[in-house]
């Protein structure tokens, strides 16, 4: 059964437009609280949840609305303030709470915001709980008795707890002394955390993107805008650079020459290191967008590799189904299930640094075994309801391109989940052939879309 409000990563939209309004968010808090309270009735104790947020100015408004709804439902609330998404997952689990809630739109601009939930185990809510919350949104807010209202408390040591957790994922016998690292926090939720983690492990840290004003999150800084990081690494003659996104669950890195490395390349570094040490349990999970060169690199090392649908939620599901520990997306979501219950940019960076220190290699050397294939993505606007994927002309164009690629590339056609677009992606060893092939398929789709 499809969901009305929840997407693959919670509920997200432009602030002030439904559903990201204080009225809806208060109702969401109440509905979620009623569901969670019902689940917890078996213990006879009051339910409690943690709320964290990123640095968007709208977070204050949505936090208050969410808090009011939860308290009206009889749920106690812990307020962590600005804190990364993976920190909420960690604290929810260690404090034995019924759920964690994050107010964030991740890598989106500040005008957007969203709400996402974590279960008591620190993972995304199962579908049945999201369905139950959506059903509860149809019911009006009703206070049974003032005596049953919840309470709110500020969790003053949330940041310190999370910093210590991140450090604990790095080997105690190892340090980062002698390394100079530029850390870009995107003016987001890690602005008061990430630099301290790396500094306390011994690195010399130059921090950028650490002055949030409520409106500058992800603007010109962070994992989705790494130009300033690349410049700073070269200017400071640093060993490498680390860029996180607005809510701290996405990572890209830069080597000493300012060259950028995406999620596929960083997962490769971690996978190769773990494989050589005999610590890679099973295989590696990627997505439909994972570069074909990564798949070929895994094959050369006899490491099993499987693709999930795009979205870290689906990578997590695949890892759990297979009993594996490592996976992620080329966008920089990296999941190490032996370290954390969700993707974590800081923890993933520490995993890369662990590999570099163990192998005594630079980032460029460690990632050098993976040369990404050219990947061309063309978005073609199509009318809603037009089935381009099933059309004979499109199928014929795809078959012709696949024959030309001759096993040295691949084609992926994927409808957008949010816009009337068909995403045409072609990748392979020959850049010119890839560009021509992508345009060839896109032209066929355009003819159908305008017919």
Compute the residue count for the chain: 451
Check 106, 119, 123, 341 and give the catalytic one.
106
Nearest to 333 by CA among 323, 319, 321, 322: 319
Task: Name the burial class of residue 213, with classes exposed (0-12), middle (13-18) and buried (19+) by CB atoms within 10 angstroms of its CB.
Answer: exposed
- What is the DSSP code string of 20-45? SSHHHHHHHHHHHHHHHHHHHTTTTS
CA distances to 1, 131, 285, 286, 332 from 311, rounded to whole Å, are: 19, 19, 12, 10, 11
Helical axes 22-40 vs 127-136, angle rounded to 10°: 120
Question: Do 78 and 66 form a contact (C-beta atoms < 8 A)?
Answer: no
- What is the DSSP code string of 184-215? E-TTSTTTTTHHHHHHHTT-EEEEES----SS
Question: Would you give the end-to-end CA distance of the chain in angstroms?
Answer: 33
- Cα 282 from Cα 334, distance rounded (Å): 16
Question: Do 149 and 143 form a contact (C-beta atoms < 8 A)?
Answer: yes
Is 106 tagged catalytic?
yes
Helical axes 59-72 vs 22-40, angle rounded to 10°: 40
CA distances to 56, 57, 58, 109, 174 from 215, rounded to whole Å, are: 6, 6, 9, 8, 38
- Cα 204 from Cα 178, distance rounded (Å): 7
Read off the tokens for 7.
């997407």
Active site residues: 106
């Amino acid at each position: 059964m499809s969901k009305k409000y929840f997407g693959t990563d919670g509920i997200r939209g432009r602030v002030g437009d439904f559903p990201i309004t204080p009225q809806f968010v208060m109702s969401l808090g109440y509905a979620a609280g009623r569901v969670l309270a019902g689940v917890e009735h078996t213990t006879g104790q009051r339910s409690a949840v943690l709320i964290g947020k990123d640095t968007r100015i709208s977070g204050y408004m949505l936090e208050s609305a969410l808090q009011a709804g939860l308290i009206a439902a009889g749920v106690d609330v812990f307020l962590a303030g600005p804190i990364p998404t993976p920190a909420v997952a960690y604290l929810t689990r260690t404090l034995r709470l019924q759920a964690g809630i994050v107010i964030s739109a991740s890598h989106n601009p500040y005008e957007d915001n969203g709400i996402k939930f974590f279960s008591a185990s620190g993972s995304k809510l199962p579908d049945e709980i999201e369905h139950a919350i959506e059903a509860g949104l149809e019911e009006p807010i009703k206070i049974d008795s003032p005596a049953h209202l919840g309470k709110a408390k500020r969790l003053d040591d949330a940041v310190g707890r999370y910093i210590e957790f991140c450090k604990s994922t790095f080997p105690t016998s190892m340090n980062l002394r002698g390394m100079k690292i530029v850390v870009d926090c995107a003016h987001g939720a890690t602005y008061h955390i990430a630099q301290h983690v790396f500094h306390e492990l011994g690195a010399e840290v130059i921090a950028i993107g650490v002055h949030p004003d409520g409106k500058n999150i992800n603007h010109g800084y962070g994992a989705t805008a790494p130009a300033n990081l690349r410049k700073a690494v070269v200017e400071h003659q640093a060993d490498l650079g680390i860029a996180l996104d607005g809510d701290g669950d996405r990572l890209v890195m830069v080597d000493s020459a300012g060259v950028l490395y995406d999620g596929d390349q960083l997962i490769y570094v971690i996978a190769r290191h773990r494989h050589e040490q005999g610590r890679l349990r099973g295989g590696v999970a990627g997505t439909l967008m994972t570069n074909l060169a990564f798949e070929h690199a895994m094959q050369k090392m006899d490491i099993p590799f499987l693709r999930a649908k795009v979205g870290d939620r689906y990578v997590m599901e695949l890892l759990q189904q297979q009993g594996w520990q490592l996976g992620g997306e080329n966008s920089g979501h990296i999941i190490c299930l032996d370290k954390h219950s969700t993707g974590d940019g800081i923890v993933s960076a520490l995993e890369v640094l662990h590999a570099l220190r163990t192998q005594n290699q630079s980032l460029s050397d460690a990632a050098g075994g993976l040369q990404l294939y050219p990947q061309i993505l063309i978005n073609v606007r199509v009318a809603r309801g037009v089935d381009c994927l099933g059309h004979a002309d499109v199928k014929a164009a795809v078959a012709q391109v696949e024959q030309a690629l001759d096993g040295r590339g691949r084609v992926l056609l994927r409808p957008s989940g949010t816009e009337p677009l068909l995403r045409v992606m072609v990748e392979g060893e020959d850049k010119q052939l890839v560009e021509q092939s992508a345009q060839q398929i896109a032209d066929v789709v355009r003819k159908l879309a305008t017919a």
